[in-house]
Amino acid sequence: MGIILAILIFSFIVFFHELGHFLLAKFNGVDVNEFAIGMGPAIYSREYKGTKYAIRIFPIGGFCAMGEDDEATDSPNNFNNKSVWARISVIAAGPVFNFILAFIFSVILTAMVGYDKPEVSGVDEGYPAAEAGIQAGDTIVKMGGKRVYLFREISIYNQFHQGEEVEITYRHNGDEKTVTLSPKEDKELGYQRLGISSSGYTKANLLTALQYGVYVERYWINTTIESLKMLVTGKVGLDQLSGPVGIVDVVDDSYKESRSYGLFAVLAQLLYIAILVSANLGVMNLLPLPALDGGRLVFLFVEAVRRKRVPPEKEGYVHLVGIACLMILMVFVMYNDIRRVFF
């Protein structure tokens, strides 16, 4: 059951991404050759107003074919005959829709389980927070110069910056104070920490669910960006990357662990994972790499500045190389996933 749920989650998120491209293409009057759910041979298709709508056999995402990689035709509705800003909006719509979906899921999850305000419920003696004067009831306002809205942001910052000093601004009795702390090794847990505890989750109403839904999505976007930084700087190895097989395994494990607690717990876990995957897909697709939406946007912005399109054949070669590199990376990631899951 967990595997089926993982496939459905991943497929819906990719489908929603492609739906963004499709809707903005239609809005801008772009000819859409095909809008498909799934990949592989079509098991059902129907043509309507010049667009083929298809359901394909493998439920792993979908695609929106607009002829963006082809030469411009005589049709005024051809993708490449539209203004550069219209094309930019169509390409950017995919990642933007991923962020919209992540926000919707974040609001729903926050309404279900509440939100973790960055309030301190307790401090551990002998750790930097207590020595700096932070007390139970204080609120962490900033960490590393960045505003903090959720307690989990404190935890993830500490994970990403192990062994580094951190400047913390906290509110005590209405007054803001700033201190610099050096995390201390917790020999029992095996990592460095500041020695503060969360006050738990606060029940959300409609307005706070919307407000903290933004903060939850922001948290996952920032987490994805920080993870990419660690990958680029070598703090995280390629062998720690995970792909579709890894996602299926995580969803399956989460389902098995939460199902004994009832439907509510299962839904909360699935929403949690869906937010992570959707925000991650949005960020990854905006990277300025060939074959990704971000890479296509680079060429379009160059065209907007030069007021002249990059020759399609040259752009095509670049994207072809990008696709080849992505395929190699996907094979490597899938190998890692299979090795971790089955061996």
Whole-number pLDDT of residue 316: 81
18 is catalytic: yes
Cα separation, 333 vs 330, in Å, equals 5
On the CB side of 170, CA atoms within 13 Å amount to 26
* Sequence-distant (≥ 6) Cβ neighbours of residue 185 within 8 angstroms: 191, 192
Coil, helix or strand at residue 137: coil
- What secondary structure does DSSP assign to 138-198, as a single string? -EEEEETTEE--SHHHHHHHHHHTTT--EEEEEEETTEEEEEEE--EEETTTTEEE--EEE
Backbone angles phi, psi at 84, to 5 degrees: -60, -35
**Structural element, H or E, at residue 60:** strand 51-65
- What secondary structure does DSSP assign to 2-22, as a single string? HHHHHHHHHHHHHHHHHHHHH
Residue 117's closest CA among 201, 187, 56? 201
Whole-number pLDDT of residue 242: 66
- In this structure, what token pair is assigned to residue 170? 């906290």
In the block, residue with structure tokens 């050096």: 182
Locate the domains of the chain by residue range.
Answer: 96-112+204-343, 120-198
Cα separation, 14 vs 39, in Å, equals 11
Whole-number pLDDT of residue 261: 85
Give 120-198's CATH code, choosing from 2.30.42.10, 3.30.365.10, 3.40.50.920, 3.40.50.450.
Answer: 2.30.42.10
* Alpha helices by DSSP H, 114-186: 128-131, 151-160
Active site residue: 18, 153, 217, 315, which one? Answer: 18
Backbone angles phi, psi at 271, to 5 degrees: -65, -40
What is the residue type of 272? Answer: Y
Q: For residues 82 and 30, is the Cβ–Cβ distance under 8 A? A: yes
C-alpha dihedral sign at 219, 331, 324, 56: negative
Q: For residues 72 and 78, is the Cβ–Cβ distance under 8 A? A: yes
Tens of pLDDT along the chain (343 residues)?
667 888 888 889 989 999 999 999 999 999 999 999 888 899 999 998 889 999 988 877 788 988 766 666 677 888 888 999 999 999 999 999 999 999 999 999 999 999 999 999 999 988 999 999 999 999 999 998 899 999 999 989 988 888 889 999 999 998 999 999 999 888 887 888 899 998 889 999 999 999 999 999 999 999 999 888 887 777 766 666 666 666 777 777 787 888 888 889 889 999 999 999 999 999 999 999 888 899 999 999 999 999 888 887 888 888 888 888 878 877 777 777 676 666 6
What does the angle CA 102 – CA 19 – CA 287 come to, to the nearest 5 degrees? Answer: 60
What does the angle CA 177 – CA 178 – CA 179 come to, to the nearest 5 degrees? Answer: 125
Cα separation, 211 vs 214, in Å, equals 6
CA-based Rg of the chain, rounded to a whole angstrom?
23
Angle between the N-to-C axes of helices 84-113 and 206-232, in degrees from 0 to 180, rounded to the nearest 10: 120
In the block, residue with structure tokens 């697709």: 285
